[in-house]
Structure formats: C-alpha cells, structure tokens
Amino acid sequence: MTQLEQALKGVITDEMKQAAEREGLAPKDLRDGIAKGEIVLPYNINHNNCQPIAVGKGLSTKVNANIGTSDAYPELDKELKKLETAVSAGAHSVMDLSTGGNIDQARKQIIDNSPVMVGTVPIYQALVDAAKEGQKMVDLSADDMFAAIEKHCKDGADFITVHCGVTKEVIDELRSSGRVMDIVSRGGSFLTAWILHNDKENPLYEQFDRLLDIAKEYDVTLSLGDGLRPGCIEDATDASQIRELIILGGLVKRSREAGVQVMVEGPGHVPLDQIKANMTIEKTLCHNAPFYVLGPIVTDIAPGYDHITSAIGGTIAASSGADFLCYVTPAEHLGLPTLEDVKEGVVASRIAAHAADIIKGVNGAKEWDLAMSKARKDLDWQKQIQLAIDPEKASKMRKAKNDEEQECCTMCGSFCAYKIVSEYLGRTINGSC
Amino acid sequence: MTQLEQALKGVITDEMKQAAEREGLAPKDLRDGIAKGEIVLPYNINHNNCQPIAVGKGLSTKVNANIGTSDAYPELDKELKKLETAVSAGAHSVMDLSTGGNIDQARKQIIDNSPVMVGTVPIYQALVDAAKEGQKMVDLSADDMFAAIEKHCKDGADFITVHCGVTKEVIDELRSSGRVMDIVSRGGSFLTAWILHNDKENPLYEQFDRLLDIAKEYDVTLSLGDGLRPGCIEDATDASQIRELIILGGLVKRSREAGVQVMVEGPGHVPLDQIKANMTIEKTLCHNAPFYVLGPIVTDIAPGYDHITSAIGGTIAASSGADFLCYVTPAEHLGLPTLEDVKEGVVASRIAAHAADIIKGVNGAKEWDLAMSKARKDLDWQKQIQLAIDPEKASKMRKAKNDEEQECCTMCGSFCAYKIVSEYLGRTINGSC
C-alpha cells in the first residue's frame, strides 16, 4: 500500500513518523495532510536507506538539486560527487537527469548512494535509448515510454516527472499564442514533437491509468511536469501554461482516487508581480497538491547569477504557497554546473526556502535567526560560524578578511557599534574578541 | 541655487536634462518631481565631471556601493580600484566610508575619480580625528561635528548621511524596548553614546538649521540616516525604528522648506512580510521623500551570502517603493569586501533593482529581458553574452563549460528543446551553433 492509501486508512507509517519528527509536527497531522493530498511523502519501496522527507502544506520548504551525466560530461564519479555536495549543502532531494554515458548505471548508483529522495525523468532515458539505436525520437512507441517509466520505478525513483499535460488541446493553444520562446522543457518539447509528428494524443495522458498502476506498485510519487512552462518572463502565465495546469488538476484528482501520491511542477520564468498569482492558481486548479517550482527566476538578463534571480523568485513563491523549490545554479543558461555551482545553487535555494519559512511560521525557522543575532550581539564568532547556513564558507571568508587576531572584524574595527552602544546603555556583551 | 530651488522656480537645469535623458523621461517631469521633493538629484557644485543621476519616484531604481579605507586596510589605491570596479559593474553611486589612513586624501581622491555621485558620513571623520588626538569620542563638541560636515560638503560630497533622528526621545524608547541588538549603525551608536554621556540633545537635530545652511551652500543632498535601523529581523519595524522615522519625516519638511534636497535611509534586516509596510510607512511619514535602503536582508543566517539575502529583500523593497538600494556584499557580517565582493555586491543589487523595474514599468526594463529571450530562442550566444548583466562572467562561464565547439551548450546537448520544438512547430531559428 502507498503512503497515501495507508493515510486514508488512518495508519501512521514509520516513514510518516520520521518525516513528522523532522518537522517537529505530530505524526497524526502529517498523516492527515497526506490523506488530503496536500502533503506527499515520496518514498519508493525499492529505495533503501532513504530518509523519509515530506513535502507540502504546513511543512518547511524543501529544496531539490538536479544532477546527472550528459553527452559532454558522461563521467559518473563526478555526478556522485555532486550528489554528495548537494546533500551536505542541505538539499532535501536530488533529481538524476542523466542523458550521457551508461545512464542505467548512473541512476542505480545515484539512488543507491542517496540518503535523500531521488527524482528522475524517465522520458529522457527513452529518448537516449532511441537515439542510441539510430531511431528518430518521434518514432518511439507508447510502450517504449512506459518501459522507461517502469524501469525507473523499479530501480527505486521516489518521484518521477511525467509530462502528462502536454496534449493536443494545449499544443493548439501554443501554436497561435505568439510566445517568444514556445517550449523550453525538454520533456515538453519531445512530447509536442511526438504528438505533431504522429498526429496522436500524448500517451502519458491517454494511458494515464497505466501510469498510475506502475506508480502505485512502487509507491512512486508522480510529479506532473509543466511542459509548457514559460521560458522567459514575457511568456509567463499565458493561456498555454494555464490550460496545461487545468489538465494537471484533473490528473491530480485521478491520482488521488487511485491511491497514488502526486505533486505538480511549476515555472520557471515569472515576473515578480505574477508569482503569487501562480501559486494561488496552482492550489485552486490542482486541489492543493504540493507545488514544486523551478526557480522561478524574476528576470532573464542575468546568466551567471541565476541562483540569485531564482532565490528572489523562490522566496516569494515559497512564501505564497510553493512547497518545493528546484534549485537553479549560477551555470543555468550557460552549461552544466560544476561542483561549486551545485553548492551555490543549493545554498541560494535554501536561503529562499528559509526566508519564506520564517514568515510561514515553520518550526525552528525564526529561532535560527534569533540564535544568530544573539551570537552577533555577543561578538561570539565561533557560534556565528557554527550557525551560518554554510559554515565552511563563512569561516573561510572570516579568516581571509581578518588577519589581525585582536580585531573583532575589519568592517568597523575600533568603531564597533555593539561595543560603543553597549557601554553607554549599560548592556553586557557576553563574548569577547 | 540648489536643484530643488531651481525646480521650484520652474527652471530646468542642465543636470536635470541629462538625468532625464538617462531615464528616457521628459525633463519637465523630472523637474516637477524634484520640486515636489519626490526626486533628488545629488550633485555637489564642487564635484566636477560627475554624471547627473536622479533618484526617486518614477525613475529606475539606483544602486550604491560602499567603499573606503579602514584601520586594517588603509591603502587608498585598493579603494580606488574598488571605485572603478563598482562603477564598471554599474553602480550609480559610491559612498566613501573611509576610517583608516589619510581619510581626507581618500575622500578627495574618490570624489575626483568618481564619475558617479559620492556620498559620505562626516561623523566618521569626526570620530577618527578625535581618536587620533587621544580624545574620547563622547568628548567631541558640536562644532567638531559640524566642522567635519562642512569639510565633506566643501570637498564635493554629493550626499551625506546625517543621523539627525537619534534623539533623547528615541533613546528612551530603545532603552525599554527589549531589542536583541540595540543599535548596529555606527553613526547611531556614537550619537547615542554622546547623548547619554553628555546628557544633551543630538546636535545634528538641535542645530538642524546649521546643517541646512551648509548643505544649501554646496547643494548637498541630505541622506537622513537611520541610526535605529534593526540589526536583525527580530528587531524590525519596532517603536524605536518608527519613532526615529517620524522625526525624520519632520526634518524632510524642514529641508524642503529650506530648499535643501533630502532623502531618507532605511533598514537593514527585515522579514519578508514587513518589507512592503516599511516602504509604505516611509512614504507616508516622510512625505514621499526618496527612500534609500540598506538591503534589506530577509534572514540573518547567511553570512557569506548576504548579497543574496539583500537581493531578495531589495527586490521586494524596490518594487514597493524603495528608490535607491545600498548594496550588500558577500563579505557583510564577516569583514571588509574584496574587489570581487564589490563586483558581486553591485551585480546582485542591480539584479534586484532591475527585477523591480520590470514591474514598475521603468523605461527599457522589460525590453532588455525581451531582447535576451529572443537571443536565447535564436541560439545567438554572442548576443546573449552582450546582453548579460555581467558579460565578462557570462562569457567566462560559457567558455569554461562548453569545450566542444559544435555543442550549442552542455545543458541539453543534442536534446535541445528549442531545436526539437521549432522543427515540428515549423518555427525558424535565426541563429546557428
């Protein structure tokens, strides 16, 4: 039985207990959220040694890191190193998007080595396999697609992205939309090409029950992909995007009825003043399913800094309803991320998640800031470093910038505001420096 | 006559013309904004070769970079290099906060070499000079403070931070406030110490007319400092902060009546859900004076990443009324910034300013994103690099990540969504790769 089916029966599973403990919540509340479909607990029965982490309403905002091989960088050991870096930087999830080298092996090893949930996009594998056999991607059969899905689920993927909402109706809308960038989702672009070439409906939509059967067997959470997500802020929140979202909302209902956990993916590129509306409309159209957003980035002009553009959008998104942020690294729009990019991307997304969690009233969020503020007031540098979101970087920078032992810090030197004011207000500073 | 006095007389100065042209605005509209006090044009009559840049309502959001020597880093040439870096990264203003080495020389050279407006904090000089003479800072006289102010104005500072709102009333409020961090503003902490030690009112408040006379002589814009700005999100938007803001609002009126341009400084550390209220209340209490905010940062736990925490807060601030963002570098809370930190700080703040300008409808803002999106769609890498907010970094990262000439980019390799979908939708891609 899936976590959802058990929750609906009133059962609190071990995974629910552990996930609830992590959040400082009563297991009963977590179970009730899962039963309503407002929370998912992606946990494939074949993924051993995975920490149960839940995503959704009332929980801390989660962060995902995308990793995986490509044609240009097929080496698996590099990606395993990225997995390690992402997890130690605090990612709650990784997605294996491998398309280069031995991708079966890559997926299996990433799942084996990941202590956090792993997501995949099975359609990529179907495309790569077709290309290897000299087949045109549009000649793939529905069975080929489902075979890839089944393989990923069997291998232990905790959630899979499936672009079920790219349908003929949506493509018709797109054709006449005047979008600047049409489609930027790889899965979305493939399915569009497939539908147009074969003049048939999307098999992932048409045979959705087949997908549900597979997902249910392994308790894989469906992550309904947004193939029509805007690729630039100019295209945001248009009819193509919202038509797809309406279709996804229908599939959310069908998933829940089948006892399959489900979340919904979202944009992408969204100007500041449309982010909240995007979060609200996902919740209404998709019946409060957890919302998993990529970024969103709030401007298109900052390649090299898209961890920042997405931290801005991610903060607003998370504070207005997004439950799960897919990281964006500084390398986005330029190439595949390095190890350092992976770390920067995870930390930037965690900052966004945390800034939102503070105002969402998530357990422990505000308290973390308060502890840091007290350490600052006490000039307790050791504690400030310990409490930093990235202690390694904070420590390194502090050391690099403060070469004289006796200095509190080089920012103000002897004109330290804390010291000056504490003396005259008669406050005690606990630390020393 | 100051720009304000001329605007009130209906005159459009050359500086107004140039500043208006920069914004794509009619000079008349800029003049009217200056006359109302909703726009300032900081432009000291003694600052030669300075580009006139205006700050305020209806204009693009501006970005300031703080530079300056300290005890630990007294070398002027390094700070001049930072000036160059900040300006070439797109800063609209720099503040010289020098407190180490020969600070008269530092200020003069920074002003001489700066093509953009320069702000200073004269009280720092008074403190350093006192310390040099073995005097206790609380023993400074009012005349000492005004002497420093006069010197900075005469030297060509386009705007000066003056902490006029730190008064006995505000300190009384602070004493019983239970703030975690009391005061983190250096100027604010000094004036608090001075007031408490001498049991006298703040001379910058009590002798405000004297300050106005000096400012008027050189057309220096007063930047009313927020000595009580919160030093952590826990302290944000409290009675101490707002009491000071009310006092600053009164001083805004007096400045305008005297023909002196004036803007108001703001926080600092503010949780996400209080930023908009901070912007609104500044506009009401301070009669729509331009608002110059530091950050604000939305969480305290990210030393090493405060360019990101402030880009998040700065975006929300700028989109809800802030006119001028003071950058925060990755080094904030750890030490003085390096050259690289200065650049990262300026770019992060410019991203925040631009993301807000898009939705504020600032001339050219949206168009920049659209041009980038079209270059992306056309796979025109040269143009993408040209249009990037930091072409140097974008170019470097692109080269580092894409070693094979024939690859469009390593992100998707042969599974490029643009290419796939354009073929089947019958769209033309103009570029090639």
User: For residue B131, which of B148, B119, B155, B109 has the smallest C-alpha distance?
Assistant: B148
Tell me which DSSP letter residue A189 carries.
H
Describe the crossing of helices A306-319 and B339-360 by its angle, rounded to 10 degrees: 50
Chain A residue numbers touching B336 (CB-CB < 8 A): 401, 410-411
Residues B415 and B374: their CA atoms lie apart, in Å, by 20
Give the minimum alpha-carbon distance from B79 to chain A in angstroms, rounded to a whole number. Answer: 14
Identify the three-state secondary structure at position B273: helix
pLDDT at B404: 53
Mean pLDDT on B122-135: 92
Distance from the first to the final alpha carbon of chain A? 58
Identify the three-state secondary structure at position B56: strand
Question: Which pLDDT tens digit goes with each residue over B236-259?
Answer: 999 999 999 999 999 999 999 999
Residues B433 and B429: their CA atoms lie apart, in Å, by 10
CB-facing half-sphere around the CA of A40: CA atoms within 13 A = 29
The helix (H) or strand (E) run that includes residue B117 is strand B117-120
* Pairwise CB contact (< 8 Å): B369 & A299: yes
Question: Which pLDDT tens digit goes with each residue over A143-199?
Answer: 999 999 999 999 999 999 999 999 999 999 999 999 999 999 999 999 999 999 999
Chain B residue numbers touching A301 (CB-CB < 8 A): 354, 368-369, 372, 387-389
* Pairwise CB contact (< 8 Å): A397 & B197: no
Q: How far is CA A3 from the centre of its chain?
A: 20
Question: Which pLDDT tens digit goes with each residue over A220-257?
Answer: 999 999 999 999 999 999 999 999 999 999 999 999 99
How large is the C-alpha radius of gyration of chain B? 23
* Pairwise CB contact (< 8 Å): A72 & B413: yes
Nearest CA in chain A to B125: A415
Give the minimum alpha-carbon distance from B191 to chain A in angstroms, rounded to a whole number. Answer: 9
Lowest average pLDDT, out of A342-346, B129-133, B279-283, B305-309, goes to B129-133
Ramachandran angles phi, psi of A152, nearest 5° = -65, -40
Given a contact cutoff of 8 angstroms between Cβ atoms, the answer to whether B362 and B350 are in contact is no
Nearest residue, CB atoms, A373 vs list B232, B354, B369: B232
Given a contact cutoff of 8 angstroms between Cβ atoms, the answer to whether A81 and A54 are in contact is no
* Pairwise CB contact (< 8 Å): A182 & B421: yes
Give the minimum alpha-carbon distance from B417 to chain A in angstroms, rounded to a whole number. Answer: 5
Given a contact cutoff of 8 angstroms between Cβ atoms, the answer to whether A369 and A377 are in contact is no
Given a contact cutoff of 8 angstroms between Cβ atoms, the answer to whether B197 and A424 are in contact is yes
CB-facing half-sphere around the CA of B327: CA atoms within 13 A = 31
Whose tokens are 């552990």? That residue is: A18
For residue B126, give every residue at least 6 positions away whose Cβ sits within 8 Å of its Cβ, in sequence order, or none: B140, B144, B145, B147, B148
CATH class of A3-360: alpha beta
In chain B, domain spans: 3-360, 365-425
Decide if pLDDT at A71 tops 60: yes
The encoded tokens of residue A92 equal 């709650």
Q: How far is CA B192 from the centre of its chain?
A: 24
Identify the three-state secondary structure at position B128: helix
CB-facing half-sphere around the CA of A273: CA atoms within 13 A = 11
Q: CB count, 10 Å around CB of A131?
A: 15
Residues B270 and B300: their CA atoms lie apart, in Å, by 9
Residues A322 and A353: their CA atoms lie apart, in Å, by 9
Question: Which pLDDT tens digit goes with each residue over B229-239?
Answer: 999 999 999 99
Chain A residue numbers touching B384 (CB-CB < 8 A): 303, 333
Nearest residue, CB atoms, A347 vs list B174, B300, B305: B305
The encoded tokens of residue B97 equal 């906060």
Chain B residue numbers touching A413 (CB-CB < 8 A): 70-72, 99-100
Nearest CA in chain B to A422: B182
pLDDT at B401: 82
**How would you label B96-128 residue by residue, b for 16+ Cβ within 10 Å and e otherwise?**
bbbbbbebeebbebbbeebebbbbbbbbbbbbb
Sheet strands (E) in A226-307: 262-266, 291-294
pLDDT at A54: 98
Give the minimum alpha-carbon distance from B303 to chain A in angstroms, rounded to a whole number. Answer: 6
* Pairwise CB contact (< 8 Å): B417 & A369: no
Sheet strands (E) in A51-184: 55-56, 62-67, 93-96, 117-120, 159-162
Give the minimum alpha-carbon distance from A187 to chain B in angstroms, rounded to a whole number. Answer: 8
Mean pLDDT on B368-372: 98
Chain B residue numbers touching A278 (CB-CB < 8 A): none
User: For residue A238, which of A186, A334, A170, A304 has the smallest C-alpha distance?
Assistant: A170
* Pairwise CB contact (< 8 Å): A319 & B272: yes
* Pairwise CB contact (< 8 Å): B302 & A351: yes
* Pairwise CB contact (< 8 Å): A370 & B410: no
Given a contact cutoff of 8 angstroms between Cβ atoms, the answer to whether B204 and B191 are in contact is yes
Instruction: Please give the model's pTM, rounded to 2 decimal places.
Output: 0.97
* Pairwise CB contact (< 8 Å): A234 & B366: yes
Chain A residue numbers touching B192 (CB-CB < 8 A): 420-421, 424-425
Find out whether the peptide bond into A227 is cis, omega within 30 degrees of 0: no
pLDDT at B17: 98
Supply the mean pLDDT for chain B: 95
* Pairwise CB contact (< 8 Å): A376 & B131: no
* Pairwise CB contact (< 8 Å): A351 & B403: no
* Pairwise CB contact (< 8 Å): B300 & A99: no
Mean pLDDT on A302-324: 98
* Pairwise CB contact (< 8 Å): B358 & A185: no
Give the minimum alpha-carbon distance from B287 to chain A in angstroms, rounded to a whole number. Answer: 26
Tell me which DSSP letter residue B61 carries.
P
Report how far apart, in Å, the C-alpha atoms of B362 and of each of B355, B358, B394 are. Answer: 10, 6, 25
* Pairwise CB contact (< 8 Å): A407 & B72: yes
Q: Work out the pLDDT band at A209, boundaries 50, 70, 90.
A: very high
* Pairwise CB contact (< 8 Å): A351 & B420: no
pLDDT at B431: 61
User: For residue A251, which of A234, A229, A218, A226 has the smallest C-alpha distance?
Assistant: A226
Chain B residue numbers touching A127 (CB-CB < 8 A): 415
The encoded tokens of residue B420 equal 């796939």
Whose tokens are 């305020």? That residue is: B56
Tell me which DSSP letter residue A269 carries.
B
Residues B60 and B63: their CA atoms lie apart, in Å, by 10
Q: Choose, out of B128, B140, B351, the residue to mutate when testing the contact with A (most A CBs < 10 Å).
A: B351
β-bridge pairing A39-40 and A55-56: antiparallel
Lowest average pLDDT, out of A210-219, A231-240, B260-269, B407-416, goes to B407-416
The helix (H) or strand (E) run that includes residue B160 is strand B159-162
Give the minimum alpha-carbon distance from B161 to chain A in angstroms, rounded to a whole number. Answer: 16
Mean pLDDT on B57-70: 97
Supply the mean pLDDT for chain A: 95
Q: CB count, 10 Å around CB of A200?
A: 12
Nearest CA in chain A to B410: A335
Distance from the first to the final alpha carbon of chain B? 58
Whose tokens are 């009280």? That residue is: B123
Give the minimum alpha-carbon distance from A180 to chain B in angstroms, rounded to a whole number. Answer: 7
* Pairwise CB contact (< 8 Å): B415 & A127: yes
Report how far apart, in Å, the C-alpha atoms of B198 and of each of A65, B176, B202 are. Answer: 57, 20, 10
* Pairwise CB contact (< 8 Å): B331 & A397: yes
Residues recorded for chain A:
433
Given a contact cutoff of 8 angstroms between Cβ atoms, the answer to whether B312 and A352 are in contact is yes
Given a contact cutoff of 8 angstroms between Cβ atoms, the answer to whether B257 and B283 are in contact is no
Find out whether the peptide bond into A296 is cis, omega within 30 degrees of 0: yes
Single-letter amino acid, residue A305: Y
Question: Which pLDDT tens digit goes with each residue over B380-423?
Answer: 999 999 999 999 999 999 998 886 555 567 777 778 888 888 88
Helix residue spans in A97-185 (DSSP H): 103-113, 122-132, 142-155, 168-175
Residues B330 and A394: their CA atoms lie apart, in Å, by 9
Nearest residue, CB atoms, A413 vs list B70, B301, B397: B70
CB-facing half-sphere around the CA of A114: CA atoms within 13 A = 38
Mean pLDDT on A297-313: 98
* Pairwise CB contact (< 8 Å): B312 & A355: yes
Q: Work out the pLDDT band at A423, boundaries 50, 70, 90.
A: confident
Given a contact cutoff of 8 angstroms between Cβ atoms, the answer to whether B76 and B69 are in contact is yes
Residues B244 and B173: their CA atoms lie apart, in Å, by 10
Question: Which pLDDT tens digit goes with each residue over A339-383?
Answer: 999 999 999 999 999 999 999 999 999 999 999 999 999 989 999
User: For residue A114, which of A75, A83, A153, A79 has the smallest C-alpha distance?
Assistant: A83
Give the minimum alpha-carbon distance from A12 to chain B in angstroms, rounded to a whole number. Answer: 34
Nearest residue, CB atoms, B401 vs list A193, A334, A422: A334
